[in-house]
Amino acid sequence: MRSRSADAPSATGKTMIEYASPPYKIALVAPYGNLSAMFARVAEGLPCSLAVRMGVALEEAVAAARQLINSEQPEVICSRGGSADYIQSQVDVPVVTVSTTALDLLRVLLPFQGKIHKAAFFNYQEPLPEVQAVARALGMEIREYLFHTREEKSSRMLEAAAEGAQLGVGGALVAGMRELCGVDGIVLEAGEDAVRRALREAFAIARIRRVELQRQARTMTILNTIAEGIMVTDENNALTLINPAAENILQIKADEAVGRDARDVVPNTRTWNVLHNGTSELNELQDINGQTIVTNRVPIRMNGRSIGVVCTFAGAERIRQAEQRLRGRQRAHGFEARWRLADILTRNAGMKELKKLAAGYAETDASVLIQGESGSGKELFAQGMHLASRRAAAPFVAVNCAAIPPSLLESELFGYEEGAFTGARRKGKAGYFELAHEGTLFLDEISEMPYHLQARLLRVLQEREVMRVGGAQMIPIDVRIICATNRNLQALAARGLFRQDLFYRCNVLPLHIPPLRERGNDILYLACHFLRKAARGAACTGLDREALDKELGDLLREHAWPGNVRELANVMERLALISGLFPQRSLRELFSRTRAQESGPCVCGGSDPFTPPPPDSGETLREIARRAEYEAITRQLSACNGDYARAARRLGISRVSLWRKLRERPNIAETEEDGGDSSMK
């Protein structure tokens, strides 16, 4: 037998990769020595290893087979006649019988043709077909004697001698016939064809057995590792399989329960009912050892009748937790915090203490109330505390209570069931509390929450469970609450505009973020940071802190910054863009113009691209844009001393685009005649 090579082409012409299979492990229990020699000769070159025990038959063959099983772990055992049957009845390893045929009998008796007239043929259990055909061909009488045991064979040999047999033919025990009864005995040996047939059958059995063992190994691995409990009964309701999860849930030992009636092992089981009525029972609740489990009972059907029942079950609490985790992963995708406490930049001692306090708050699950003006960084602190907590891997869900209409806020926070109101989604929708399960829910501008919803929020904070709009069941949640507001929540509570009990529940861990104007050197430090970040390699002058302090320090410190850090970041981004377009202007002048534009429209004359033309100029929007673009290019060329390549790089365009835009010079003659200056002074 030859195995296909690893890269042999398949029937479709495509190369298939096959992994070499280890040799088949074959054991031979040989009643006589010639059989082992023939096996070795035939097996040479075949994909098998051969282990042999010789000179044993019947009961002795069983002992030899067991020794081979213990030492060699064969996949198949081969033996002759009665020895093969004896072995097969005593061991679990498949056994192949090396059969003899009428042709083998003819081959043995042919040399005695004309010399003897009566022969005895001893065969194990069943008669050999065509024995009488051999007798007629040889012209002699052949009588067949059947036996089952060693003692019975000896008795049959004595019987044959008494009936006048001149020669005995049979298995290995016939060799002792002369000593027993004075008649010569010849061992009937299997031919080479019989050995080849036996090996082919052994290989086929070994191959099928390997496939079956692999299938069993996979099945048992699945059963042993699956989280659900699995229990199987047979047609008599006796337990045949219990996996480890079932052992744990049912609090029983599989080796003690298998073989017993399921009703004697599992309380309240209905396997007997399912077995007899053939109807599945799905998602049934069952009380086992003080816990509620969800179980499925399905009959095993074959040929129209039930031959057993498969039960699967799991703890109801574990199913609920798994469902909530799955729901959270599916719907909370994208609810992630990005900023850590370390990302909050500051040189201010008070802010550093505040970050340290926030890091301490992160170690607990108590509610936090962050108060501070708009733009001061309240959400940054909330995200930082989330990422510094044990909930960092769970969702961070941010909700702006002022941005959601009051009529929708309740359903968004607590979720709703199908049909709760007109327009509700099919199958309902999870609210923000459910989406934030095991994570953090950030309620920004909580002061704007409608008064009637504050009572529901208070109950959620106290009971740690929510009920969806239109629902009838409480859903347990594990959520850390961080609230934020830019108003004095305590004053609102004192005036009756905010529930006092909710204020105290939210204000377990208070955090007050000072406005930017009270943070001293942080203004200049953050301004330089935002300016560098916004410049992105453009020709932005004065990006070092000393130059920025010299030109803008007093202006930055004098400004009130009502928008706090957010306003500062926006102003610096605008300043970086303008300074790149007009490098001849100082940062102080550009900053003043920027601040003036925020205060109101600029009325400066001339062709300054920051100043829109008068309403009656007659210029179209395209002409205005072309004029501003042309003047920006000419100023950049002037700053680069006429180096077109360098100017193009600064402007972020190609040299070809720069040349094209210069050729499209707008008509500014009228402006020049009026004495206007196209460059910024």
Dist. CA 48–CA 134, nearest whole Å: 36
The full set of domain ranges for the chain reads: 1-99, 102-189, 234-315, 332-511, 515-600, 618-681
Dist. CA 672–CA 250, nearest whole Å: 96
Cβ neighbours of residue 387 under 8 Å, at least 6 residues apart? 337, 339, 340, 341, 396
- Could you tell me the pLDDT band of residue 641, with boundaries at 50, 70 and 90? low
DSSP assigned state of 469: B
Dist. CA 499–CA 489, nearest whole Å: 9
- pLDDT at site 77: 95
Q: Lowest-pLDDT range, 238-252, 400-414, 444-458?
A: 400-414
- Could you tell me the pLDDT band of residue 389, with boundaries at 50, 70 and 90? very high
Q: What Å distances lie between residue 393 and 380, 384, 475, CA to CA?
A: 17, 13, 22
Dist. CA 402–CA 562, nearest whole Å: 20
- pLDDT at site 676: 38
Q: What Å distances lie between residue 386 and 23, 332, 502, 667, CA to CA?
A: 59, 15, 22, 59
Q: Which residue has the higher pLDDT, 227 or 63?
A: 63
- pLDDT at site 201: 94
Average pLDDT over residues 650-677: 60
pTM above 0.75, yes or no: no
Q: Which residues pair with 145 in a beta bridge?
A: 122
Average pLDDT over residues 528-533: 82
Dist. CA 590–CA 681, nearest whole Å: 11
DSSP assigned state of 133: H
DSSP assigned state of 344: S
- Could you tell me the pLDDT band of residue 71, with boundaries at 50, 70 and 90? very high
**Which CATH number is correct for 332-511, 3.60.15.10, 3.40.50.300, 3.40.30.10, 3.90.1150.10?**
3.40.50.300
The architecture (CATH level 2) of 515-600 comes to Orthogonal Bundle (1.10)
Q: Lowest-pLDDT range, 22-36, 351-365, 551-565?
A: 551-565
Q: Could you please report the per-residue DSSP string of 629-678?
A: HHHHHHHHHHHTTT-HHHHHHHHTS-HHHHHHHHHT----HHHHHTT--S
CATH hierarchy code of domain 234-315: 3.30.450.20
Domains 1-99 and 515-600 share a fold: no
- pLDDT at site 64: 93
Q: Where are the beta strands (DSSP E) in 352-445?
A: 368-371, 396-400, 440-444
CATH superfamily of 1-99: Response regulator (3.40.50.2300)
Q: Mind listing the pLDDT tens digit for each residue in 207-220?
A: 999 999 899 899 88
**Within 10 Å of residue 296's Cβ, how many Cβ atoms?**
15
Compute, in degrees rounded to 10, the torsion defined by CA atoms 555, 557, 563, 564: 140
- pLDDT at site 420: 54
Q: What Å distances lie between residue 128 and 24, 30, 137, CA to CA?
A: 31, 20, 16
**Which CATH number is correct for 102-189, 3.40.50.10660, 2.60.200.20, 3.60.150.10, 1.10.3720.10?**
3.40.50.10660
610 pLDDT exceeds 60?
no
For residues 384 and 437, the answer to whether their CB atoms sit within 8 Å is no
